[in-house]
Amino acid sequence: METKRQWTVIRGGRLLDAAGHRADRCDILIEGDVIRAVGKPGLAAPAQTTVFDARGKLMHPGLINAHTHGHGGLAKGMGDRWTLELLLTAGPWLNGNRTTEDRYLSTVIGAAEMVLKGCTACYDLTVEFPTTSVEGLAAAGRAYADIGMRAVVAPMVSDISFFDAIPGLMEMLTPALRKDVARLKQAPHKETLKKIRQALRHWQFDHGSVRPAVAPTIPHHCSEAFLIGCRDLAKEFGVGLHTHVAESKVQAIAGLRQYGATLTAHLDKLGLIGPQFTVAHGVWLDADDMRRLGDRGASVAHNPGSNMRLGNGLADMRGMLDRGVNVGIGTDGSSCSDNQNMYESMRLASMVSKVQGPDWQQWITTEEVVHAATHGSAKALGFGDRIGQIAAGCKADIVFLDIEHINWIPFNDATNGLVHIEDGSAVHSVMIGGKLVVDNHKLVTIDLATLARNVESARARLERLNRDHRKLYERLLPIVGTYCPGLAKTPLHIHRFGACHH
């Protein structure tokens, strides 16, 4: 069936020029889901083109979230003082007993929040226990397709349990606790690799909108054979690889103890690092690690909010950029940093760089932050230059901010305003692939009231079903909460914590 391509022309808006720190009036011509031309007001358009009125709006490319977890949606706000290791210990309580429908709902919650806050694409690492499934991944993919958002959906997988992955931790547990955590063992890697292969082979979504990837969760939570299997699958199917590398100091220490080399060096030895590879966080990368990533054309998803929320420290974005690493910006999942607000992540990326020392010339600029949250993230997602910019040939993923909103009164500097002032509340409309997903502050693709009802019944049921998992977490808390911070006090050649209490 031949479908007639729709023409749309956006007239009257002001287009962000991040490098120029300005926003001049500009018209945008769209055919179907692609931008055909960007030009001065009065841009020529074919007859019968639909006119989209953008007067009083600042237009910027849809923000791209380089790192999140759809499974975090249902766990939003469940904890406060969690280190990464306590969060991982809480995993069965937060994510246990989920049905396929729960996975869908959890992912929809995050996707809805992202588009309402000006984000048009994300990289989602989604977990299932004891292993990933074709149906679980399809449910996550369907959530993004229903919202009308682009996404990379990657099964987050491992074959070594958290308690086995941290050197010395298992020995700290009582025999009774050891028995209880033994029940939380992941499936053997061969089974998981088989499931991922099935999912990649039978992927039911259009790769231009919702595409798959592979995410071995944390390097030392995966055997070498498993990491190599993931690497080969990603290569065979031409998809991305994404893993949490040196997110916490505990991980950096564990890597050094286990491999006699950094986690990055270990992954490089196994051949995982290349242009399709994304490091999540990378707080505890050293200069050699960064150089290695830069030389191989790899990306880092920088999640400044999550890094502070979980007490992992302050990542060195300048060090990464100086060594040629592609840097994208992410929120991380709602169980680790709660909201899914890319404006906040951009603001924090700027702030976190500005507390790292007095040499202000080293601080990340607002222009660099915008570049990372658009171009940088787009590259990490593997969409190249098809998204993350408003230019001829790119997808029509455009956010319209209301410049009569208090955030933009006065309108001084478009780039600084976007990073340091905007918080998502001026988002008026969001277009993805030429279609309005948010119109006049309202989500048009799904009904939020229905979502709220469905989520509340799932939430109440899961709270009941995961009561025992919560009790187990509470028994493990004093041990993990003492042992891991102790490990993090091991001296290391790099420092990423903001300050010390003593």
Least distance in angstroms from the C-beta of 269 to Zn ion = 23
> What HEC string does 238-262 produce?
CCEEEEEECCCHHHHHHHHHHHCCC
**Residues in binding contact with Zn ion, number by CB under 5 A:** 1
Pairing of strands 34-39, 63-68: unpaired
Binding mask 479-498 for Zn ion (x = CB under 5 A): --------------------
Secondary structure class of 465 (helix, strand, coil): helix
Contacts with 99 (C-beta within 8 Å, 6 or more apart), sequence order: none
Question: Which CB, 279 or 280, lies closer to Zn ion?
Answer: 280
Least distance in angstroms from the C-beta of 303 to Zn ion = 7
2 DSSP assignment: P
Least distance in angstroms from the C-beta of 332 to Zn ion = 5
Q: Is the peptide bond before 410 cis (omega within 30 degrees of 0)?
A: yes
Yes or no: say if 407 and 423 are a contact pair by the CB < 8 Å rule.
yes
Yes or no: say if 264 and 291 are a contact pair by the CB < 8 Å rule.
no
Question: Which CB, 61 or 219, lies closer to Zn ion?
Answer: 219
The tokens for 208 are 């231009």
> What is the distance of C-alpha 64 from the center of its chain?
8
The tokens for 81 are 């003082």
Question: Which CB, 253 or 280, lies closer to Zn ion?
Answer: 280
Yes or no: say if 273 and 254 are a contact pair by the CB < 8 Å rule.
no
Q: Candidates 253-261, 274-282, 292-300, 411-419 — which segment interacts with Zn ion by CB under 5 A?
A: 274-282
Yes or no: say if 302 and 312 are a contact pair by the CB < 8 Å rule.
no
Least distance in angstroms from the C-beta of 300 to Zn ion = 12
CA end-to-end span of the chain: 70
Looking only at residues 280 through 299 of this chain, which bind Zn ion when binding is defined by CB under 5 A? 280
Per-position b or e across 206-234, b if 16+ CB within 10 A of its CB: eeebbbbbbbbbbbbbbeeebbbbbbebb
Question: Which CB, 187 or 280, lies closer to Zn ion?
Answer: 280
Q: Candidates 52-60, 278-286, 399-407, 456-464 — which segment interacts with Zn ion by CB under 5 A?
A: 278-286
Question: Which CB, 18 or 250, lies closer to Zn ion?
Answer: 250
The tokens for 296 are 């191989």
Question: Which CB, 64 or 394, lies closer to Zn ion?
Answer: 64
Binding mask 418-457 for Zn ion (x = CB under 5 A): ----------------------------------------
Radius of gyration of the chain (CA): 22
Question: Which CB, 251 or 389, lies closer to Zn ion?
Answer: 251
Least distance in angstroms from the C-beta of 307 to Zn ion = 11
Q: Candidates 82-90, 272-280, 378-386, 393-401 — which segment interacts with Zn ion by CB under 5 A?
A: 272-280
> What is the distance of C-alpha 14 from the center of its chain?
28
Of 179, 250, 188, residue with least CA distance to 222: 188
Question: Which CB, 305 or 319, lies closer to Zn ion?
Answer: 305
Question: Which CB, 111 or 280, lies closer to Zn ion?
Answer: 280
Number of C-beta neighbours around residue 146 at 10 A: 15
| Triad 152, 154, 156: Cα angle to 5° | 150
Q: Candidates 95-103, 209-217, 273-281, 348-356 — which segment interacts with Zn ion by CB under 5 A?
A: 273-281
| Triad 328, 340, 488: Cα angle to 5° | 70
> What is the distance of C-alpha 256 from the center of its chain?
26
Question: Which CB, 90 or 280, lies closer to Zn ion?
Answer: 280
Least distance in angstroms from the C-beta of 245 to Zn ion = 11
Question: Which CB, 218 or 437, lies closer to Zn ion?
Answer: 218
Q: Candidates 56-64, 260-268, 279-287, 293-301 — which segment interacts with Zn ion by CB under 5 A?
A: 279-287
Binding mask 226-265 for Zn ion (x = CB under 5 A): ----------------------------------------
Binding site for Zn ion (CB under 5 A): 280
